[in-house]
Amino acid sequence: MRSWPRVVIRTFAVLNMLLGIEGLLALLISAYARVRADPWPQDPPYFAEAYYLQAVINLALALITAWAAPYLWRLQERGRTMCNVLFCGEIVYFWATSLFFAFSFLFHGKESAFCHALAVSGGAGNMGIGLQLATAYPLVGIVLINLAYRRLGGPTPVVKFSSQGL
């Protein structure tokens, strides 16, 4: 009989691979549409820069999502570490872009224009991890993967103390 930690970890391995591939395809479609489109007159200043910044960050996150999948499937500790870093990065990225939008009203000049452009380009620029953010996948993943690895009883570092001091 299979233990639930193995099933959970391997389920996340499959989900990581599917979400990574979906994110890469969505980014390709978004980038193709953006490159083919003429700038709209209503695009705010710095829209292209904000879009490309978000697209590059999303590309890196989608690649790491798919890259972690084989390590999770093999139940290696590296998969857990990669997912912890990845999911924490996605959560920080989500909150940072949300705060940029919230604080864009406090800035004036170029800072306000760039923050506004980040907010406007978020729909197209965040195509790589949009589905993950919409479903709270990073929050659920970080909790369940760590619980499953802890229950699995992976390797733990052994600390030996000597009676002779340092």
CA nearest to 86, candidates 65, 71, 72: 65
Tens-place pLDDT, residues 13-43: 999 999 999 999 999 998 888 777 766 666 6
Q: CA-to-CA distance for 110 and 103, rounded, in angstroms?
A: 13
Q: What is the DSSP annotation of 65-81?
A: HHHHHHHHHTT-HHHHH
Its pTM stands at: 0.81
Q: Enter the DSSP assignment of 37.
A: S
Condensed to tens digits (0 to 9), the pLDDT of residues 110-159 reads 667 777 777 777 777 788 898 998 999 999 999 999 999 999 875 544 44
Closest CA to 67 of 56, 81, 53, 46: 81
- Identity of the amino acid at 88: C
Domain-wise residue ranges, the chain: 4-152
